[in-house]
Every structure is written in structure tokens, then in C-alpha cells.
Structure 1
Amino acid sequence: MTAPAQVCVARIGAAHGVRGAVKLWTFTEDPFAVKRYGPLSTKDGTRKFEIASAREAKDHLVAQFRGIATRDEAERLNGLELYVPRDKLPAADEDEYYHADLIGLAAVTTTEELLGRVVAIHNFGAGDILEIAPPQGATMLLPFTNAVVPTVDIAGGRVLIELPQEVEGDGPEAG
């Protein structure tokens, strides 16, 4: 399995002030690491951004990008996700991985049944959720917990899924 070409490391938020600064939410362990990765780009690679300065705010950074000098320019960036090439990131420790490394892995049950492929990882505030696309039918969402996903095997190209067992007597047929 080849590593993803790029990884999302930040998202631009609202403009901050009148001189082109923006709120910047980073997805790195050290928020200021985004400055060390070189130019950040949009997912399609058509736009590149270099951080000229950044300072810590309450739960984000306030960043100034080179070439962005007005509030109007900054407002047009709101919502953009910023990416870096995967090889610019530090290697993950053993038993750790980047979420981007999971995209495309086979999702297999403990009985070796193929459920599908991991197509996304979401977080709606209560923890990570794996989105798995089966060979046919609608995608399924599973909590990304040690109980449901006991094994991630990047080298083997799969994640092991422990499906909950139905308890006898539960359900509408129980009398």
C-alpha cells in the first residue's frame, strides 16, 4: 500500500483584524509545526500558502500568509483546508499512524469477512468515526475505538473490525 500523497494539517477560519490575518486551526501535535513544513497547499494543489507569522490564540493560531494583506483577501480563504506532502511529516511511532494512512485500507471482520474499504475518518465531536464503503450498498459508520477496531495493520493493508454480537433475546422477536 502506498502512502497518501498529502495530509491535511490545517483549516483556515474567519478573518482576524483588518490586515489579512486569519484564524488557523491546526491538526498537528505542535500547532506551530505547520510553519516548518514549508508551503501549505489546497487539496488540488492549485493554491499555495506560506505562513509569514503566527501567534497562539485561545484554541487556534492567528496567522498571516505572505501575499494576503487585506481583510477582504483573508475572508475569501475561510474554510480552505491546507495540505502538505506526506513525506514532510515525521514518521509515526510504532502503533501510531496518521488518519490519512488508513484511507483505502480493507476493513475485515475477525472472521476474515471483507466489509469494504476505509474511505474517510470523521470526527463530529464525540470521537473518531470510520466510514467504510462496502462492495455494494451504502457506506457504514463505525466508532473508531479499541473495542471496534482492535488492530490496524498498515503494512498488511487492513483494519480488523470487531462487530458487536447480537444478544440472544434482544430485538423485536423477543417475547
Structure 2
Amino acid sequence: MENLLQVGVITQTHGIKGEVKVFPTTDDVKRFKKLKHVLLDTGNENIELEIEGVKFFKQYVILKFKGIDNINDVEKYKGKSLLVTRENAVKLKKNEYFIADMIGMKVVTDEEKDFGILKEVMQTGANDVYVVETIDGKEVLLPAIKQCILEVDIENHLMKVHIMKGLIDE
């Protein structure tokens, strides 16, 4: 399991005093109000940054980091990910999982047949949709509903599914 989880991506600078505009990749954008630190993935290393200020603008979060007071100091971090440790991640409810823990998961049918590998989770309005690459190389979209997703076993990296009629070409 991943120990670091992405909570956002710096999209651009905001103003000239070192603030950045962040596209949140978390379900709960208000969590930034409670965060004290984030890790900035520079590509070479992770730098711990202390959050000094948080504002919200449209679908973005505006962050100010302690000790970064100039646009030139943050310009180089555009496009970089902001991470938190698993200990600082939001607490999950029953039957909720971190997407990072699910990607690459083996998918089997309720008849115990190998079906494929979970490649992506698309977050739509109603329910998530799981993108599975089947063992014959095709891509199948499975709705994340209890009639279709029967079991998710994070520890064994395994998902059991029921293939509903009409989801795949027979």
C-alpha cells in the first residue's frame, strides 16, 4: 500500500506573495483547513511544507506556505503534487477505499474466473466507475455499485465482481 497519498496538484501561482492555486484530488476539499503540513513532490524529493493560509476559489484551493513569500519561490512547483502521509489522510468509512490502494488490483468474477486488472477509477456524479483491463486486453467499465462490486480486499489486492448482463460483449 502507498504510504503517501495525493491531495492536490499545484496548477499555478496566485498573486505575487508566494500563494499557489491547487486543484484538489481529495473528495473533501475542506480538509485543507485542518492540514498543518503537506509534502511537495518535486520529482527528486519530497519537501515538507507548513501551511500558513487556506482560501477557496471556485473549484481550487489557494494555499500559502510558511517561509515562501515570493512568486519566484513557487513558480518552479507548477504541476507538482501535494501529498500527505497515510496517518494524515482522511478517515475512511466502511466500504470506502483510497484509489491509490485499488489501482492494479486483480479482478475476478463471482464464478472465480480471472477477469482483469483495475486500471483507473473514474469519479462521476452518481457513483464511481472502475476501468478494468480484461485478460484479453479489452477495457470494461464497471459501475461501483453493490450489485456489481461484490468484494474489495485491499490486503490481498483483489476485487470480486458480478458481470451484469449488457456490460460486456458475449
TM-score range, shorter chain: 0.7 to 0.9
Aligned-residue CA RMSD in angstroms? 3.2
Contact 2:19–2:64 (CA<8 Å) still a contact in 1? yes
TM-score (norm 2): 0.74
Cα distance between partner residues in 1 of 2:15 and 2:141: 41
Q: Secondary structure at the match of 1:74?
A: helix
Are the equivalent residues in 1 in contact too, given 2:42–2:77 (CA < 8 A)?
Answer: no
Instruction: Check 1:20–1:34 CA distance in 2 against 1; reply closer, same or farther (3 A cut).
Output: same
Structure with bigger gyration radius: 1
Map of 2:9 onto structure 1 = 11
* Counterparts of residues 10-159 of structure 1 (less than 5 Å): 10-26=8-24, 27-29=26-28, 30-32=30-32, 35-36=35-36, 38-42=37-41, 46-50=45-49, 51-123=51-123, 128-135=128-135, 137=137, 140-146=139-145, 147-159=147-159
Deviations 1:41-84 (A, max 9, x none): 31856132412221222322211123433334433322222112
Larger fraction in strand: 2
Indicate the percent of aligned positions where both proteins have the same amino acid: 23
In structure 1, what residue type is equivalent to 2:164? P
- Whether the aligned pair in 2 keeps the contact of 1:149 and 1:159 (CA below 8 Å) is yes
User: Aligned pairs, how many?
Assistant: 165
How far off its partner does 1:116 sit? 2.3
Within 1, Cα distance between the matches of 2:82 and 2:100?
Answer: 14
TM-score, normalised to structure 1, is: 0.73
CA contact (8 A) 2:15 2:71 kept: yes
Tell me: CA distance 1:90–1:107, structure 2 relative to 1, closer, same or farther (3 Å): same
User: Please, which runs of 5 or more residues in structure 1 have no aligned partner?
Assistant: none
Report SS of the residue matched to 1:11.
strand
